[in-house]
């Protein structure tokens, strides 16, 4: 599975949310830095070529839908990020978020409780 560009990820987030959409519906969901309709159409076709979306044709228009599940992409993305930025150490990742004050002690206790429940 290929890593997507930031813009491609943004479009996939919209398609995962909408489940299926025409280009104009995707465009309506973009709040900042709206691309031109033709540019967005090209990005979606690129996502199709990469195997992330497919479409149903209605005459000259296409309704696109994701064929890669968000959970599947998230798992792959997170595994790659942990390998690349945290030397494959979940401890390092959690420590990073704790040091950056992105995770609280209460949240860490909740995570520990989840781990204990799995045992």
Would you list the domain boundaries of the chain?
A: 6-66, 70-118
Confidence of residue 80 (pLDDT cuts 50, 70, 90): confident
Q: pLDDT class for 58, splitting at 50, 70, 90?
A: very high
Q: Return mean pLDDT, the chain.
A: 92
Look at residues 45, 17, 29, 84 and name the one whose alpha carbon lies nearest to residue 93.
84
Q: What is the signed CA dihedral for 55, 43, 79, 106, rounded to 10 degrees? A: -90
Query: What's the CATH architecture for 6-66?
Result: Orthogonal Bundle (1.10)
pLDDT above 70 as % of the chain: 100
pTM of the model: 0.78
Does residue 1 surpass a pLDDT of 80? no
Q: Is 78 exposed, middle or buried (0-12, 13-18, 19+ CB in 10 A)?
A: exposed
Q: In the structure encoding, which two tokens stand for residue 57, read together? A: 């044709």
- 10 Å CB burial of residue 11 (0-12, 13-18, 19+) is buried
């Amino acid at each position: 599975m290929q890593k997507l560009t930031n813009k491609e990820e943004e479009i996939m987030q919209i398609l995962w949310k909408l489940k299926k959409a025409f280009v104009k519906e995707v465009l309506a969901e973009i709040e900042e830095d709206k691309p031109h309709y033709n540019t967005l159409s090209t990005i979606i076709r690129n996502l199709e070529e990469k195997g992330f979306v497919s479409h149903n044709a209605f005459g000259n228009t296409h309704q696109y839908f994701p064929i890669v599940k968000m959970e599947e992409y998230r798992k792959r993305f997170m595994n790659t990020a942990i390998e690349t930025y945290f030397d494959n150490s979940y401890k390092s990742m959690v420590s990073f978020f704790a040091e950056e004050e992105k995770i609280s002690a209460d949240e860490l206790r909740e995570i520990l409780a989840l781990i204990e429940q799995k045992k």
